[in-house]
């Protein structure tokens, strides 16, 4: 049996935008499996991340960076932000750089910027592109060395039966870098806030037991206790569904 590795995105803290070092420290108290440094908005690149925080991020076994979603690639804005983004990617020694496909006009530009770290995330029901296997085939035809980020919450917004997860895995499993997971009650939400088992359809979208998972479900402020309960709940449900080992706490 394989052991799931479940970590968190720094963007999991949805209120008051606590400093990056506080977010990283809270996640570090819960686990060291994985972390995603959420630079989802351009203005987050204005935040100074000190060397101690970078060192803490590098202690996680798997590290990704989420590129901004409020800019088009390529554009004057992306050219302006790229040096700062590449600096963060280098300092955290990221394994993966996550990009949304609906904001990309030239995928080869991203491949030139990020190289083999580049991975494209499937879209939710609000987006105009990246929701279907056909969309993603077009993406990977343009950038054949890119990876895939499987967001099971996004799948659920399109198909509550989650058959779409089967179709994507059948076609792109060999590209899979990590999963994004969160409950769905209108957006990215914690699982523990709802009836136990009520969100199992989303969890069943996780097909591989050897691929890291990044939790994106929002919590209110810095709440390491909620993160711990959330992590334990997801791992227990995954164990029931897949009969895999639960990671030991740190």
Residue environment code for 155-193, b if the CB has 16+ CB neighbours within 10 A, otherwise e: bbbebeebebbeebbeebeebbbbbbbbbbeeebbbbbe
Please name the helix (run of DSSP H) or strand (run of DSSP E) that holds residue 34, with its range, or none.
strand 34-38
- Sorted by sequence, the CB contacts under 8 Å of residue 80 that are 6+ apart come out as none
Is the pLDDT reported for residue 247 higher than 60?
no
Contact 136, 120 (CB under 8 A): yes
Q: What is the pLDDT of residues 201-246, one digit of tens each?
A: 999 999 998 999 999 987 766 788 889 999 999 999 998 888 755 5
Q: What is the CATH number assigned to the segment(s) 6-242?
A: 3.20.20.150
Q: How far is Cα 238 from Cα 231, in angstroms, rounded to an integer? A: 11
Q: How far is Cα 247 from Cα 244, in angstroms, rounded to an integer? A: 9
Q: Is this structure's pTM higher than 0.75?
A: yes
Q: What is the pLDDT of residues 153-199, one digit of tens each?
A: 999 999 999 999 999 999 999 999 999 999 887 667 788 777 777 78
Q: What is the pLDDT of residues 17-55, one digit of tens each?
A: 689 999 999 999 999 999 999 999 999 999 899 999 999
């Amino acid at each position: 049996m394989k052991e799931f590795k479940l970590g968190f995105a720094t963007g999991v803290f949805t209120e008051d935008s606590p400093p990056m070092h506080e977010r990283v420290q809270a996640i570090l108290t819960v686990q060291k499996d994985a972390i995603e440094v959420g630079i989802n908005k351009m203005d987050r690149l204005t935040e100074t991340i000190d060397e101690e925080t970078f060192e803490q991020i590098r202690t996680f076994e798997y590290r990704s960076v989420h590129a901004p979603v409020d800019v088009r690639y390529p554009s004057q804005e992306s050219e302006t932000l790229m040096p700062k983004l590449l600096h963060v990617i280098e300092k955290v020694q990221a394994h993966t750089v996550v990009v949304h496909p609906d904001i990309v006009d030239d995928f080869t530009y991203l491949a030139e910027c990020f190289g083999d770290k580049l991975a494209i995330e499937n879209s939710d029901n609000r987006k105009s592109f990246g929701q279907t296997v056909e969309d993603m085939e077009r993406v990977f035809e343009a950038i054949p060395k890119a990876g895939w980020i499987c967001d099971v919450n996004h799948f659920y917004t399109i198909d509550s039966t989650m058959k779409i997860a089967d179709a994507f895995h059948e076609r792109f499993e060999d590209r899979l870098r990590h999963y994004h997971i969160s409950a769905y009650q209108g957006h990215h939400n914690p699982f523990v806030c709802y009836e136990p088992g009520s969100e199992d359809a989303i969890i069943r979208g996780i097909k591989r037991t050897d691929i890291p998972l990044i939790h994106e479900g929002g919590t209110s402020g810095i709440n390491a206790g909620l993160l711990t309960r959330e992590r334990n709940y997801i791992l227990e449900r995954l164990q029931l569904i897949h009969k895999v080992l639960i990671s030991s706490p740190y």
